[in-house]
């Protein structure tokens, strides 16, 4: 049996014997591909190309999780929601903070090695805050997208910029908030701006030079298949942004990307047709960017149901046969199972109250039931779930994600003319409240008091059986939650919510095993890693990144 030196090193790293060697190793494409075999690290945005956010570390267990203690804290030096997701590479953590700072720190102590500051152009426009969700790594290089739609390569050892390219025109309100995806020798990134009339795309760049290798327009141009799903010039400003990191299946050489809403957001009448590939998942060849298949969740969307959820890739039996599946809880309130080889629709079930559609046809296409003007639509504008990273545990066979329950919105359509760089929304919406003028759920918490209460909507952490699309358990929260998920091989589920609680739940039953009040909204997913035999769990709450480990 022939084993490459690199692979041998990674095996050594797994064994935990070779810390000095592993600490010097570069992050090769092979290591990224086998990220799951290095549970001491967190090498990609979602812990591996399959985006399961499942770790094989088992030091922290349901039995001892109550002995978690805070090991260190990193205070954010700027204010605003902190949606970043750290990477951990051989003991070094890389995390971004708004607008586009990168910090390298000792993942064992929280002590900072270097801080890189980038000031985006004042022309940058984003709908929902100056967010950045993290970096990607390859070799000794980090990659970050910026609010002004640049892609920057940094030396991971000292934070010095290596190259900086414009991915798109900031004056047209293109932006980047997602963490890039590195596949082989390329850095792949998508663009935001779905509320500003952009034409979205995913593009790959040579990791060494920043030279563009391929580009996939998420709205097909004239002559391309799918262009007929747009009318007139609507495609030129039809949105279809990409603002969440995709997944990669090396065995198929396919990358998968969730695509955002069509524009203008709330007036589907202004853009007749299905509006491909808005609200879809696309499978793109990793080397060429060629479209292999697509599946559209919400054709001609009038509700801002971005399909920017993270594609979760699971290999499991489907109707008795081994299958390569894609699991997807969509903002539109339906949970989907797709065959990720072909894009074939296998299952779709609503996981919250839905009234914008009466069901799905045999091909997974929704039977749309638009509500009369002034009447509420379920789920509301932020969706039954949204971009918050889910998790799939191969041990429990369950899919975990955050949902918003009893949350509805009344939409209003207006005709809107496209003006470059300006909002392109086509109407507005109000959240349904029990009392006129009562406080309603916003994109984020604005204070420590929940004055909207659960009468306007509430959150829950849900475990769903992908074989049936039905809930197995529900862990209700009083406020809504934008928290992502982390599962481990000891059947722990780590998550949080806007209230600031950081939870460890029993992944099998949903029972609360431990919680800590961290005081600020948790709007991202926890990660886990190991250094010198100690397992750590890190999570961002408000303006702090807190790292826990068992009491020694």
Class of residue 361 by CB neighbours under 10 A (exposed 0-12, middle 13-18, buried 19+): exposed
Token readout for 390 is: 């889910």
Q: Over the Cα atoms of the chain, what is R_g?
A: 22
Token readout for 458 is: 């509430």
Q: Compute the least distance from the CB of residue 77 to another protein, in Å.
A: 17
Tokens 């082989």 correspond to: 184
- Cβ proximity to another protein: between 223 and 372 the closer is 372
Nearest to 304 by CA among 219, 411, 415: 411
d(CA 310, CA 385): 11
- Cβ proximity to another protein: between 311 and 380 the closer is 380
Q: Compute the least distance from the CB of residue 514 to another protein, in Å.
A: 12
DSSP conformation class of 140: T
Q: Compute the least distance from the CB of residue 180 to another protein, in Å.
A: 24
Return phi, psi of residue 270, to 5°.
-80, -10
- Cβ proximity to another protein: between 367 and 435 the closer is 435
The C-alpha angle 491, 492, 494, rounded to 5 degrees, equals 150
Contacts for 242 with CB less than 8 Å, ≥ 6 apart: 178, 190, 191, 192, 200, 201, 202, 218, 257, 258, 259, 260, 308
Half-sphere CA count of 94, side-chain side, radius 13 A: 31
Q: Which stretch of DSSP H or E encloses residue 19?
A: helix 19-24
Q: Compute the least distance from the CB of residue 388 to another protein, in Å.
A: 17
CB 390 within 8 A of CB 400: yes
Q: Compute the least distance from the CB of residue 129 to another protein, in Å.
A: 9
- Cβ proximity to another protein: between 8 and 128 the closer is 128
Q: Compute the least distance from the CB of residue 501 to another protein, in Å.
A: 7
Q: Compute the least distance from the CB of residue 187 to another protein, in Å.
A: 28
- Altogether, the residues listed in the chain come to a count of 552
CB 174 within 8 A of CB 192: yes
Tokens 């996939």 correspond to: 216
Q: Compute the least distance from the CB of residue 311 to another protein, in Å.
A: 27
Residues annotated as part of the active site: 304
Class of residue 301 by CB neighbours under 10 A (exposed 0-12, middle 13-18, buried 19+): buried
Nearest to 400 by CA among 52, 60, 91: 52
- Cβ proximity to another protein: between 440 and 544 the closer is 440
Residue ranges binding another protein (CB under 8 A): 122, 125, 127-128, 195, 372-376, 410, 412, 414, 416, 421-423, 425-440, 442-443, 446, 448-456, 476-479, 497, 499, 501, 515
d(CA 326, CA 396): 17
């Amino acid at each position: 049996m022939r084993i490459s030196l690199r692979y041998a090193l990674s095996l050594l790293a797994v064994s935990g014997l070779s810390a000095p060697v592993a600490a010097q190793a570069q992050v090769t494409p092979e290591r990224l591909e086998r990220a799951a075999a290095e549970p001491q690290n967190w090498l990609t945005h979602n812990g591996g190309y399959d985006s399961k956010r499942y770790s094989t570390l088992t030091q922290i267990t349901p039995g001892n999780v109550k002995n978690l203690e805070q090991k260190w804290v990193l205070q954010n030096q700027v204010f605003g929601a902190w949606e970043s997701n750290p990477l951990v590479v051989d003991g070094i953590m890389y995390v971004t903070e708004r607008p586009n700072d990168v910090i390298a720190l000792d993942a064992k102590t929280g002590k900072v090695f270097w801080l890189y500051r980038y000031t985006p152009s004042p022309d940058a426009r984003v709908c929902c805050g100056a967010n950045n969700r993290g970096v990607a790594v390859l070799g000794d290089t980090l990659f970050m997208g910026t609010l002004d739609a640049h892609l920057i390569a940094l030396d991971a050892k000292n934070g010095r910029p290596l190259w900086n390219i414009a991915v798109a025109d900031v004056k047209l309100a293109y932006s980047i908030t997602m963490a890039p995806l590195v596949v082989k020798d390329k850095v792949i990134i998508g663009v935001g701006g779905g509320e500003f009339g952009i034409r979205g795309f995913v593009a790959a760049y040579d990791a060494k030079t920043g030279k563009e290798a391929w580009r996939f327009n998420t709205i097909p141009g004239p002559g391309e298949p799918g262009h007929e799903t747009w009318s007139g010039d609507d495609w030129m400003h039809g949105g279809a942004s990409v603002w969440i990191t995709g997944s990669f299946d090396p065995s198929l050489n396919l990358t998968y990307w969730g695509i955002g809403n069509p524009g203008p957001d709330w007036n589907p009448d202004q853009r007749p047709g299905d509006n491909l590939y808005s609200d879809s998942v696309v499978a793109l060849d990793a080397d060429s960017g060629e479209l292999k298949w697509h599946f559209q969740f919400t054709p001609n969307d009038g509700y801002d149901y971005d399909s920017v959820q993270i594609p979760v890739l699971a290999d499991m039996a489907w109707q008795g046969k081994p299958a390569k599946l894609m699991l997807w809880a969509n903002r539109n309130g339906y949970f989907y199972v797709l065959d990720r080889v072909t894009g074939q629709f296998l299952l779709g079930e609503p996981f919250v109250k839905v009234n914008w559609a009466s069901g799905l046809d045999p091909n997974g296409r929704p039977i749309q039931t638009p509500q009369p003007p002034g009447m509420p639509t379920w789920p509301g504008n932020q969706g039954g779930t949204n971009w918050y990273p889910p998790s799939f545990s191969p041990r429990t066979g369950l899919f975990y994600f955050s949902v918003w329950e009893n949350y509805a919105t009344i939409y209003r359509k207006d005709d809107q003319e496209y003006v470059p760089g300006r909002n392109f929304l086509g109407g507005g919406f109000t959240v349904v409240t029990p009392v006129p003028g009562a406080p309603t759920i916003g994109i984020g918490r604005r204070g420590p008091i929940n004055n909207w209460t659960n009468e306007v909507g509430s959150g829950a952490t849900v475990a769903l059986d992908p074989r049936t699309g039905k809930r197995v358990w529900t862990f209700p929260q009083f406020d809504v939650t934008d928290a992502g998920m982390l599962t481990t091989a000891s059947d722990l589920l780590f998550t949080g919510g806007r209230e600031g609680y950081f939870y460890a739940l029993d992944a099998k039953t949903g029972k609360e095993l431990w919680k800590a009040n961290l005081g600020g909204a948790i709007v991202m997913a926890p990660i886990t890693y190991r250094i010198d035999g100690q397992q750590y769990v890190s999570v961002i709450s408000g303006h702090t990144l807190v790292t826990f480990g068992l009491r020694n």
